[in-house]
Amino acid sequence: MRLSRSALSSLPAVVYRPRFDPALLKSGILHLGCGSFHRAHQVAATQAAIHHAGDDGLRWGIVSATMRRPTLTDQLRQQDNCYTLLTREPDGTVASVMAAISEAVFAGGDPGALIGRIADPLIRIVTLTVTASGYHITAEGRLDPESDAIREDLSRPFPHTAPGILVAGLDLVRQRGGVPPVVLSCDNVAENGDTLRQVVMDYAALRGDDALSAWIGAHVVFPNTMVDRITPPFQEADVEDARRLLGGVEDAIPVSAEPWFQWIIQAFDGERPVWEAHPGTRFVRDVGVFERAKLQMLNGTHMILAYAGGLADLPTVAEAATDPALGAIATHFMRHEQSAGVALSEEDLDSYAAGLMTRFCNPGIAHDVERIGRNGSAKMAARVIAPMRENLEAGRPVTGAVLLIACWIRWFALHEQEALEIGLTDPRADALRQICADARDDHRAQAEAFLAMEEVFGPPLPDHDGQVAAIADMLRRLSDGDVRAVLREVAKA
Ligand code: CS2
Reported as a single tens digit per residue, the pLDDT across 138-166 is 878 899 999 999 999 999 999 999 999 99
Positive or negative: CA dihedral 274, 279, 285, 289: negative
CA 107 – ligand 1 centroid, Å? 25
Specify the ligand 1 atom closest to the Cα of 299. 6
Residue numbers in the chain where pLDDT is lower than 50: none
Interface predicted TM-score (ipTM):
0.99
Distance CA(382)–CA(195), nearest Å, equals 12
CA–centroid distance, 383 to ligand 1, in Å, is 11
Residue 365 CA to residue 348 CA, distance in Å, equals: 25
What tens digit of pLDDT does each residue of 319-351 get?
999 999 999 999 999 999 999 999 999 999 999
Give residue 477's pLDDT: 97
Provide the pLDDT for residue 140.
84
Give the span between the Cα atoms of 184 and 475, in whole angstroms: 40
* SS3 category, 46: helix
Q: How far does the centroid of ligand 1 lie from the alpha carbon of residue 379, in Å?
A: 10
| Pocket residues: Cβ below 6 A from ligand 1 | 188, 228-230, 298-299, 302, 372
What is the Å distance from ligand 1's center to 373 Cα?
10
Handedness of CA 87, 25, 187, 312 (dihedral sign): positive
Q: Which pTM value belongs to this model?
A: 0.94
For Cα atoms 43, 286, 352, give the angle at the middle one, nearest 5 degrees.
75
231 CA: nearest ligand 1 atom: 9
Nearest CA, atom 3, ligand 1: 372
Residue ID of nearest Cα to ligand 1 atom 11: 228
Mutation probe of ligand 1 site: the residue of 228, 294, 298 with most atoms within 8 A of C-beta: 298
User: What is the pLDDT, as a whole number, of residue 162?
Assistant: 98
Q: Do 299 and 342 contact (CB within 8 A), yes or no?
A: no
How many other CB atoms are found less than 10 A from the CB of residue 351?
Answer: 12
